[in-house]
Amino acid sequence: MSIEVVNISKSYKNFMALRDVSLQIPEGELVALLGPSGSGKTTLLRLIAGLEQPEQGSILFNGEDNTDRDVRERQVGFVFQHYALFRHMNIFDNIAFGLTVRPRKTRPSKQEIQEKVHSLLKLVQLDGLAHRYPSQLSGGQRQRVALARALAVEPKFLLLDEPFGALDTKVRQELRRWLRHLHGKLGLTILFVTHDQEEAMELADQVVVMNEGRVEQVGPPEEIYNRPANPFVYSFLGRVNLFQGRIRDGKVQLGEAEFETQWTQKAGEYAAVGYMRPHDVEISLTPKKGQSVPAQIRHISLLGSIVRLDLRRLDTDEVFEAELTRQRFAELQLEEKGTVYVTLHNLSF
């Protein structure tokens, strides 16, 4: 089912949690709501679910206005970060819960419930554990039970609020891969909240970047990463270097060097702050005339497959970071306090 949010605003007392938010989620997509804590992600999810009412705006499902419809009629499945399972119920009963509480007329038979729960247990790869209690499962297994419970009622879409937030890195990675697989299999529309840019980039077809109750940008992960709409998105999506430069004829002057720039805001000559990613810093041991600036290595961090350098420009004292592969690092034989020459790619102004 497609979801459309149109000009939604929501405040708590005097505080605006959402400001004129609009969003379109096509049927069958896996969409990430990405933003820092307090940016309004949970509020937006609760409004879509029908747990809260907006002051302004509307919410459409498949083009049909659902703004005033009760939560129970919306047929959404949701999983929250700390969505506790019923402790006194075993896994089978936890998953079956949504079906057993249905009014008699629409309630499936015992046999049907049995079959449904077993197929869901298989889907979330927990078959054989139906009779365990939540306390006998790991965190990752519990979140999969929560997902199975959300899926039991055959929701038209799934809303997941930081579903893996409380789990350790390794389990999170496993569950991410698993969620992507599940999405491929079910073809369900899924909106999931995360404050982790890597999680959003890895999983989502579309990423919605939120900040201070607003949508800052919507797009596929590479587009958001490579063509961020503004400085907030730029710095939220990854590490960023800032440089003072002069733009002239679409090129950037930094000290003695001139670099190409991705985009400039206006024509003519002016001073501006440029942004770039650390992995777009090219390191050389010898200067390239007019195309590099000298820098000193202040610190070297070995971070698994990549190496990060803390650098200081020798001409301006500006500090910045470079990231390079282990292999390139080994080739260059870099050492702390050494001087290198840097060429900057993909500078944006």
In the complex with ligand ADP, which residue's Cβ is closer, 143 or 261? Answer: 143
Binding segment for ligand ADP (CB under 6 A), chosen from 40-48, 258-266, 290-298, 327-335, is: 40-48
Q: Is 282 exposed, middle or buried (0-12, 13-18, 19+ CB in 10 A)?
A: middle
Contact characters 9-28, ligand ADP, x per CB under 6 A: ---x--x-x-----------
Distances (CA, A) of 124 to 42, 135, 146, 186, 339: 25, 18, 10, 12, 54
CB neighbour list of residue 162: distance below 8 Å, 6 or more residues apart: 80, 81, 193, 194, 195
In the complex with Mg ion, which residue's Cβ is closer, 195 or 277? Answer: 195
Site membership for ligand ADP, residue 37 (CB under 6 A): yes
Instruction: Please give the size of the binding site for Mg ion, defined by CB under 5 A.
Output: 2
Query: Binding ligand ADP by CB under 6 A: which of 39, 94, 194, 348?
Result: 39
- Could you tell which of ligand ADP, Mg ion, none binds residue 292, using a CB distance below 5 to 8 A set by kind? none
N-term to C-term CA, the chain: 39
CB 40, min distance to Mg ion, A: 8
> What amino acid occupies position 290?
G
Record the tokens describing residue 173, joined without a space.
């990675």
CA distance 330 to 324: 10
In the complex with ligand ADP, which residue's Cβ is closer, 43 or 94? Answer: 43
Binding segment for ligand ADP (CB under 6 A), chosen from 35-43, 106-114, 135-143, 262-270, is: 35-43
| Helical axes 139-152 vs 169-186, angle rounded to 10° | 20
In the complex with ligand ADP, which residue's Cβ is closer, 52 or 318? Answer: 52
Record the tokens describing residue 305, joined without a space.
């497959």
Site membership for ligand ADP, residue 40 (CB under 6 A): yes
CB 57, min distance to ligand ADP, A: 16
CA distance 280 to 348: 11
Query: Binding ligand ADP by CB under 6 A: which of 4, 29, 32, 43?
Result: 43
Helix (H) or strand (E) holding 93: helix 91-100
In the complex with ligand ADP, which residue's Cβ is closer, 41 or 277? Answer: 41
CA Rg value for the chain = 25
Query: Binding Mg ion by CB under 5 A: which of 39, 42, 94, 261?
Result: 42
Site membership for ligand ADP, residue 38 (CB under 6 A): yes
> What amino acid occupies position 245?
G
Helix, strand, or coil (residue 52): coil
CA distance 193 to 49: 13
Helix, strand, or coil (residue 136): helix
CB 11, min distance to ligand ADP, A: 9
In the complex with ligand ADP, which residue's Cβ is closer, 208 or 344? Answer: 208
Query: Binding ligand ADP by CB under 6 A: which of 35, 163, 245, 278?
Result: 35
**What residues make contact with ligand ADP under the rule CB under 6 A?**
12, 15, 17, 35, 37-43
**What residues make contact with Mg ion under the rule CB under 5 A?**
41-42
